[in-house]
Amino acid sequence: MNRNSDTLFLLILEKSQNDAEKFVSLLRNAGIPTRAQQVEDEESLVAALEDKNWDMFLAREQEADFDLNQALSHIKDKDRDIPFIVLSESYDDEAVVAHLRAGAKDVIPVEYDAHIVAAVKRELDNLNNRKRLRHLEVQIHDVEHRCELLLDSSKDAIAYINDGMHIYANGSYLQFLGYDDIDEMICIPVLDTFNNEAQEKFKELSKQFYDDEAFDPIENIEWVTVREDGTEIPTQLSLSEASYDGERCLQIIIRPQQDNAELEEKLKEMSQVDLVTGLYNRPYFMEHLKTAKEKALDDAQAHALYYMTIDQFQEFKMTLGIADTDVILRELADHIKSEIGEDESKTISRLSDDVFAVIWPCSGVEDALQEGELLRKSVEDHLFEVEGKTVQVTFSIGVTLITDNAPDIKDILGRAQVAAEDVRKQEGQDKGNGVHLYKPNQEKVMDDHDVAITLIEQALDDNKFKLLFQPIISLRGESEEHYEAFVRMLDEQGEEVSPYDFLPPSGPSQVANKIDKWVILQTVKHLSEHRSQGHDTRLFINLCGETLQDQAFTSWLNVALKAAKLPGDSLIFQLSESNAITYMKQAKEFEKGLRSLQCKFSINQFGRALNPFNIFKHLSPDYVKLEGSFTQGLQKGNEEKENVKEMIQTLQSMDKMTIVPLVESAALLSTLWQAGVNYIQGYYLQAPTTEMNYDFTEDD
């Protein structure tokens, strides 16, 4: 029951390993997964900075053999964005100001634990925001570059005007007006390209543009344009607001006057339509999504957005072929249109190969879900035919409301997509065929510690917990069946809530021990029934630090095993590395008690500690599961791969069975096998499900 978030990669300047571990434990207990490296002097600091990227640097002031400001200089010299927090023994105003001026983010007395945690969380948030900003800047630059390429390749004559001067003109504009290059064009006032009458009109329009913050586009004004050689050409001028190099400017488009309105209208319609289905396409849909959001803001008219994903689309595409699949898609589009009817307030679109979407005015949640269910049912009941074959199509429909509190349109679409994906998670085995409403606050169930405890205790009393099982697969051809048990709490709507959300923000409490016992009782019941069907199955069960401190736990477990008539070695109890280190004395007694019951023992999240192998001086686990960031590291570079391989080989030499979690693709399997990994676990194999139904006989 550990909180799930990105791992903090932390540098600690501290000579005492025990004190360094204290800081790491402090952060982990505050819900911040941490992998740390201890440095003791300037040389080891420089080596660490060259070795990898770090998220934060904690420096104990009195432990430094060199000026801490010099450490900041090393970070700046390497152009690293690493927040630096100084831990001091006493408050000295001059020293604090000197550190802050040098670039430290905070100076905190070393005994102020709560302040240290708050500062780390604050600086992590700031760091992540800076990273997002840098990514956005790159994306904006890329978008601007692509926009310029599109403008340069456009057949329309387009220019940008600021303060009456050209600041940009594409090739068609230059060619139309008879100029050779942009440098020549930039020196010419835009008024010089119009005749006298047009100049007066443009002055009036420019005044409107600069007087009003919002400038409504003006389309196809009759105009007279003057070429470089003095030739006057009747044209149509369109004006709109634009931005160029971050500055507000006017965009002008010039077209020759000719009677092609019908053709242009036809081309416009074609640009809005998906050619396969005849429905509106994604760009048109996004414009209407924007309009729906504006209506929600202006007149409080709520809309429902339905994100409809075709279930098992790839399977019947492979079965039918592309041509027959297109026939099904056209018939499906016609069916949706017939169900929704001719209503201009409703927009139907095809967003991608297997995704349709509808924007629909609604009166509220119940109305939206009812209409979604009617649409889902009508599609399920309709029989589609192609080449004499009957094909059944079903939708996973995600629903979100577009209200005056809705986010950006991309986020609105993302919410509906998440809800559609949740349909398949709830139905199990990726079957789909359901309707699910996105809940804006579903990620964060509660904030207050006391409220969290009360809700958990109430859920225990009402039996509002459920178990999920995820297989752990051998890479070495062993035949035993292994699963890991996970617990989920059910909220008032019956939705699953993971421990990352329902455990109190300040970490586990005494209720965690109650949850552990509930999990064990339910697990041994499921396992006993499963093994009675001929399965040689073993289960990993995670325990919290509070259970470690329960001196009566081993006796209680002995009674539970006897009642279920289970052998002790069918259960593998798993402790996190941080809990094992924090409660080492209790962990040693706990392991001794497990051995007396013939139960197995495992360490989870291995590798976060400064010196992780020190744990084996006191404990002898049968299994070791690596911390999840190592799996990610295997995909980043050869150096990280070698570090992980070396760790695994060391564990193998100590007769530890190794498990690598978070395996999401087949690309990692070869590397893991070569490294000597014993077991793997992850969504590539199977997501956690309510049944132990993985086929261990499959040749993966």
DSSP category for residue 384: E
pLDDT band at 225 (very low <50, low <70, confident <90, very high): very high
Mean pLDDT of 349-368: 87
Quick one: 587 and 633 in the same domain?
yes
Quick one: 15 and 122 in the same domain?
yes
Predicted confidence (pLDDT) per residue in 403-442, tens digit = 776 777 777 888 888 888 888 766 444 568 899 988 754 4
pLDDT at 49 over 80: yes
Q: What is the CATH number of the domain that holds 278?
A: 3.30.70.270
Predicted confidence (pLDDT) per residue in 676-700, tens digit = 899 999 888 888 999 998 888 764 4
Taking a C-beta distance cutoff of 8 angstroms, is the pair 684, 666 a contact?
Answer: yes
Quick one: 483 and 433 in the same domain?
no
Mean pLDDT of the chain: 83
Between the alpha carbon of residue 73 and those of residues 77, 321, 338, 402, 594, the distances in Å are 6, 62, 68, 50, 51
Q: How many CB atoms lie within 10 A of CB 658?
A: 23
What domain range is 621 assigned to? 464-680
Please tell me the distance from the alpha carbon of residue 198 to that of residue 681, in angstroms, as a whole number: 71
pLDDT at position 396 is 92
Predicted confidence (pLDDT) per residue in 308-317, tens digit = 999 888 777 7
pLDDT band at 334 (very low <50, low <70, confident <90, very high): very high
Between the alpha carbon of residue 520 and those of residues 231, 563, 596, 603, 620, the distances in Å are 89, 12, 18, 18, 22
Quick one: 162 and 234 in the same domain?
yes
- Strands 434-437 and 395-402 come out as parallel
Tell me if 54 is assigned to some domain.
yes
pLDDT at position 190 is 92
Tell me if 265 is assigned to some domain.
no
Quick one: 280 and 229 in the same domain?
no
DSSP category for residue 668: G
pLDDT at position 426 is 66
pLDDT at 604 over 80: yes
Predicted confidence (pLDDT) per residue in 467-503, tens digit = 999 999 998 877 789 999 999 888 777 777 766 666 6
pLDDT band at 655 (very low <50, low <70, confident <90, very high): very high
Q: Which among 46-60, 190-204, 261-275, 308-322 has the top mean pLDDT? A: 190-204
The residue type at 560 = A
Quick one: 504 and 653 in the same domain?
yes
Provide the phi-psi class of 146: left if phi over 0, else alpha when psi is between -120 and 50, else beta.
alpha
Quick one: 276 and 254 in the same domain?
no
Predicted confidence (pLDDT) per residue in 170-181, tens digit = 888 988 888 877
Q: Which residue has the higher pLDDT, 6 or 694?
A: 694
Tokens of 98: 């000197």
pLDDT at position 411 is 77
Please tell me the distance from the alpha carbon of residue 52 to that of residue 49, in angstroms, as a whole number: 6
Quick one: 209 and 98 in the same domain?
no
pLDDT at 257 over 80: no
pLDDT at position 374 is 93
pLDDT at 344 over 80: no
Q: How many CB atoms lie within 10 A of CB 241?
A: 15
- Residues written for the chain: 700
Least confident residue range of 259-268, 347-356, 574-583, 662-671: 259-268
Please tell me the distance from the alpha carbon of residue 418 to that of residue 422, in angstroms, as a whole number: 6
Predicted confidence (pLDDT) per residue in 608-637, tens digit = 887 889 899 999 999 999 988 788 777 766
* Angle CA 686–691–693, to nearest 5: 60
Tell me if 453 is assigned to some domain.
no
pLDDT at position 504 is 55
Provide the phi-psi class of 513: left if phi over 0, else alpha when psi is between -120 and 50, else beta.
alpha
pLDDT at position 428 is 47
Q: What is the CATH number of the domain that holds 603?
A: 3.20.20.450
pLDDT at 645 over 90: no
Tell me if 700 is assigned to some domain.
no
Please tell me the distance from the alpha carbon of residue 366 to that of residue 383, in angstroms, as a whole number: 28
pLDDT band at 264 (very low <50, low <70, confident <90, very high): low
Q: What is the CATH number of the domain that holds 160?
A: 3.30.450.20
pLDDT band at 132 (very low <50, low <70, confident <90, very high): confident
Q: Which residue from 627, 566, 582, 575 is spatially nearest to 601, judged by alpha carbons? A: 575
Tell me if 473 is assigned to some domain.
yes
DSSP category for residue 302: -
pLDDT at position 573 is 96
Quick one: 127 and 201 in the same domain?
no
Predicted confidence (pLDDT) per residue in 509-551, tens digit = 567 888 899 999 999 999 999 999 989 999 999 998 888 888 8
Mean pLDDT of 364-369: 85
Tell me if 484 is assigned to some domain.
yes
Tell me if 458 is assigned to some domain.
no
pLDDT at position 300 is 63
Domains in the chain, number: 4
Quick one: 71 and 205 in the same domain?
no
Give the contacts of 234 (CB within 8 A, at least 6 positions apart): 222, 223, 224, 256, 257
pLDDT at position 592 is 94
* Strand ranges, E, within 514-627: 537-542, 571-576, 600-606, 623-626
pLDDT at 2 over 60: no
Mean pLDDT of 62-82: 74
- Strands 679-680 and 465-474 come out as antiparallel
Quick one: 252 and 293 in the same domain?
no
pLDDT at position 523 is 93
pLDDT at position 445 is 39
Tell me if 689 is assigned to some domain.
no
Please tell me the distance from the alpha carbon of residue 640 to that of residue 380, in angstroms, as a whole number: 49
Share of the chain above pLDDT 90, in %: 30
pLDDT at position 452 is 59
Quick one: 46 and 109 in the same domain?
yes
pLDDT at position 261 is 55
pLDDT at position 356 is 94
pLDDT band at 270 (very low <50, low <70, confident <90, very high): low
